[in-house]
A and B are shown apart, each in its own frame.
Chain A
Amino acid sequence: MRKLLDGIYDVSGLISALLIAGICLLVTTQVMLNLITKTGLTDMNLTIPSYADFAGYMLAASSFLALAYTLVRGGHIRVNLVLRVLPAKLRLAAEVVAHMLGAGVAGYATFYMYRLTLESYEFGDMSSGIVAIPLYIPQSTLLTGLVVLTVAMIDLTVQIIRSGEPVGVEQMNTE
């Protein structure tokens, strides 16, 4: 079970990273095409259709799929100023409450993202660019990310309650 969960977080993190690399390649390619157009070697205006839309969808997918990966690595910012000075028992209680709240919000957001995605699917909503794609496709990447985040939040909550001490991720901000 442990291995499976960690595996899921790692894989979604890896996909996020590849998406960022993908955005880089996509945008760089378009910049190259712009340069070629400027040189006048071709009369055509070389543009990857809807590339800005696709970059946006890839960005959203990357941001949401990395949520759980970032969480378990302590990458999400939280204020631990108060927590650090609390006595151990109180700190544990605060940690449990914070994690349960996080799991609650993540679950709530997941549910409504599911409804949004389902609506887009049922109404057949399409993106507005030159290349129109069904909106439920990029939306379901956000949904997937939120599902994994919810699982990770619950996972961390259970770990804390079981072990009776805050999980070993000492929050270090990377700002």
Chain B
Amino acid sequence: MSDIVTIILLFVTLLVLLGAGVWVAFSLMLTGALGMLLLSNAPIGPILATTFWGHSTSWALAALPMFILMGEILLRSRLSQDMFTGLSPWLKRLPGRLLHVNIFGCAIFAAVSGSSAATAATIGKMSVPELTERGYPTNMVLGTLAGSATLGLLIPPSIILIVYGVATEQSIARLFVAGVLPGLMLVALFASYVIIYALLNPSRIPQDDDDDMPFLDKLRATGRLIPVLLLIAGVIGSIYIGIASPTDAAAVGVVLSVLLSWANKSLSWSMLRDSLMGATVTSCMIAFILVGAAFLSVSMGFTGIPRHLAAWIADMGLSPYALLAALTVLFVVLGCFLDGISVVVLTTSIIMPMILEAGIDPLWFGIYLVIVVEMSQITPPVGFNLFVIQGLTGIDILRIAMAALPFFLLLLLAVALITLFPGIATYLPSLMDG
């Protein structure tokens, strides 16, 4: 059978399996097995077993359940209340006022949690009712929340960067550090958009009359945020300086977040148990998809398909920019139907050789991929942030998607910026070598 027919057959098989509701991990395994059956004589079963074993016992991957656990614990502590009361007195001075609470709240929470759905839920639970009650325009409230919550994916510790790092054998520490500047750039882009919006439509931003808090009260309100900020600085800082691997930092992060929630009296046995069980389920789900994707990668290696695709792209003489533009479209479309982690593992199974062939830095590509996946979080029909916010507010998903559209475009702008100036992602990690 000619290669191109087999490739199409495999791709169709994968889509049919996924569409028919077969679990993502099983779909990946079945597609891999079919590929090996058609294009190689390699023994499928033994390779499946050795792949499961070889790809589930990694030290780097151990960071995954612990960062998830840290997020689960902080999510159940009083963090979201503290975030609102701590941030609002300061952000009131910016044009757009409390809308910035969504952006900065999400950015801070993103730094303790690796998930954008959790970020949207935690920040939104507090900010949506508060902002709506004060008369902020619903579209902006929803848009800033949906858009900024995607920061959870990029700002370290990021679950999806761990997945990318493990799947492509990139250093997770370097990936985390590479995510810092692009993450801050997105915060700046989002905040600028709100400021411009507020300057153009001053009448829509309520000028609430509550008299200014005395300076000391402001400090006191913010004081509750300081432990969390220290925790973030400690986790990211220790990875950056190189005294701790991401796994070390994650473990210490869990212990510190338990202490934090104990200090603010939100710690209880049931809270701890719920956090632990939640983290167990989430990390099991991700680990299972990862071993499924690892098997697909191994089987694709046997079939030679990724090499052929890479050679084919090379023959077409596409410039890296044209390749990235095509991939961006592909990922956004894929992201409409698949969750971010599945998009990432599929990419790494099939597209990675193509990326290396085109001379694109895999570290940079990880950051690029995450921003594109962020875009897919706020596009219908499958955008997880949209679902979460729908669950939170009861507002129709399409309307939320419309409200998030400007932020989608800002993410697109960010993709263009890091493509034109790759240093935004690669500068900080390059300093780590020394």
Contacts and interface: CB of A to CB of B under 8 A. Distances in A.
A113 B20 contact: no
Given A27-B248, A175-B339, A13 B280 contact: yes
Interface string A143-175: 000000000000000000000000000000111
Contact of B57 (A28, A56, A81, A175): A56
Given A24-B69, A60-B53, A102-B26, A115 B46 contact: yes
B281 A66 contact: yes
A56 B281 contact: no
A112 B295 CA distance: 14
A79 B337 contact: yes
A23 B59 CA distance: 10
Main secondary structure of the interface of A (DSSP, over half): helix
Contact of B62 (A59, A69, A108, A112): A59
A75 B26 CA distance: 14
Interface string B237-252: 0000000100110111
A60 B283 CA distance: 11
B340 to A, nearest CB: 6
Interface stretch (B185-193, B285-293, B353-361): B285-293
B339 A55 contact: no
Interface in B105-123: 115-117
B284 A67 contact: yes
A57 B280 contact: no
Contacts of A60: 53, 56-57
B312 interface: no
Contacts of A115: 45-46, 49
Interface in A17-32: 17, 20-21, 23-24, 26-28, 30-31
Interface residues of A, number: 58
Nearest to A103: B26
A81 B337 contact: yes
B66 interface: yes
B50 A59 contact: no
Contacts of B340: 175
A63 interface: yes
Contact of B59 (A17, A55, A95, A109): A55
Given A64-B56, A77-B24, A31 B248 contact: yes
Interface in A71-98: 73, 75-83, 94-95, 97-98
B118 to A, nearest CB: 8
Nearest to A60: B56
Most chain B beta-carbon neighbours within 10 Å: one of A59, A75, A106, A174: A59
Nearest to A55: B62
Interface residues of B, number: 62
Interface in B270-288: 276-285, 287-288
Contact of A98 (B20, B49, B280, B337): B20
A170 to B, nearest CB: 12
Given A24-B251, A98-B21, A116-B50, A77 B284 contact: no
A35 to B, nearest CB: 9
A119 B18 CA distance: 34
Contact of B22 (A21, A24, A63, A98): A98
A77 B276 contact: no
A34 to B, nearest CB: 8
B45 A79 contact: no
Contacts of A17: 276-277, 279-280
Contact of B21 (A30, A31, A95, A111): A95
Nearest to B45: A112
A142 B52 contact: yes
Interface in B54-100: 56-59, 61-62, 65-66, 69
A77 B289 contact: yes
Interface string B303-344: 000000000000000000000000000000000011111100
A143 B69 CA distance: 25
Nearest to A97: B20
Interface in B362-407: 381-382, 384
B342 A105 contact: no
A138 B54 CA distance: 12
B23 interface: yes
B19 interface: yes
Contacts of A31: 244, 248, 251-252
Interface string A36-76: 00000000000000001101111110111011011001011
B255 interface: yes
B255 A28 contact: yes
A28 B252 contact: yes
Contacts of A21: 276
Given A13-B281, A174-B117, A175-B384, 9 more contacts: A13-B280, A20-B279, A75-B281, A78-B24, A79-B18, A102-B23, A115-B46, A175-B116, A175-B339
Interface of B: 17-26, 29-30, 45-46, 48-50, 52-53, 56-59, 61-62, 65-66, 69, 115-117, 244, 247-248, 250-252, 254-255, 276-285, 287-289, 291, 337-342, 381-382, 384
In the A-B complex, the 9 residue pairs with the closest CB atoms: A27-B251, A63-B287, A66-B284, A112-B45, A56-B57, A60-B56, A112-B49, A75-B281, A116-B49
Interface of A: 13, 16-17, 20-21, 23-24, 26-28, 30-31, 52-53, 55-60, 62-64, 66-67, 69-70, 73, 75-83, 94-95, 97-98, 101-102, 105-106, 108-109, 111-113, 115-116, 138-139, 142, 173-175
7 contacts: A63-B56, A63-B283, A64-B52, A75-B282, A77-B289, A82-B21, A112-B45
